[in-house]
Amino acid sequence: MNAVSAKPYRTVVVGAGGHAKVVVDILRTSRTYEVIGCIGREPGGQVLYVPVLGDDAMLPLLLEHGVRHAFIAIGDNATRLRLAQHVQSLGFELINAISPLAYIAPSAILGCGIAVMPGCIIQPDTRIGSLTIINTAATVDHDCIIGEACHLAPGSTLSGNVTVGDGSFLGTGTVVIDGVRIGAGCMIGAGAAVIRNVPDQTLAVGVPATVKRLMNQE
């Protein structure tokens, strides 16, 4: 007798923009999760033929109807963290969206609510904090530590033993050499080459990357 296959977990994607589109595309490859809809600012419309059900007010109703799993598909780090805390407080379990076209070493440790896009490589003994985005074709080498709610934009390259603090954003094509620490709440400009430590809450740009200002200054 053939074993009965388990039904996939019904899942809601919080977000209805471009990032949500990529997440929905990834989750469609999973036999574990079934995306039943997206949460956006207004009902109506679709994300890759998945309906936008309404705004955050829909979430308690979805719970009542047995939807227990969620993914926060919001690109902005602070907003993603805030919404994740809200969704978890309601009782949802956050899932990961990991492309089958990414490589993740078996010894890597991942939190929850993480997106790993196609073409990514995450090497051995790396730790990725919850709610972090490892975007298209980004590479994270051995023994890196990536904090909570970070975003490594497409094509970012981290050498071994790099640390990235909570809530930091590394722009498209950022390159970071071995052993560098990027602080919490930083923004690294697209195409920057980071060859020395970057303090918390700073903007760094250029080749090599230099600190321009504190993030809370205009």
Domain limits of the chain? 9-95, 101-206
Q: Is 142 a catalytic residue?
A: yes
Higher pLDDT, 197 or 218: 197
Residue positions in the annotated binding site for substrate?
75
pTM to 2 decimals?
0.93
HSE-CB at 193 with a 13 A cutoff on CA atoms is 3
Quick check: 11 pLDDT over 50? yes
Residue positions in the annotated binding site for acetyl-CoA?
151
Question: Residue 2's pLDDT band (boundaries 50, 70, 90)?
Answer: very low
Q: CATH: 3.40.50.1970, 3.40.50.20, 1.10.260.40, 2.40.30.330. Which one for 9-95?
A: 3.40.50.20
Least confident of 94-103, 136-145, 205-214: 205-214
Q: Does domain 101-206 have CATH number 2.160.10.10?
A: yes
Higher pLDDT, 189 or 6: 189
HSE-CB at 111 with a 13 A cutoff on CA atoms is 19
Q: Is 140 within 8 Å of 159 (Cβ atoms)?
A: no
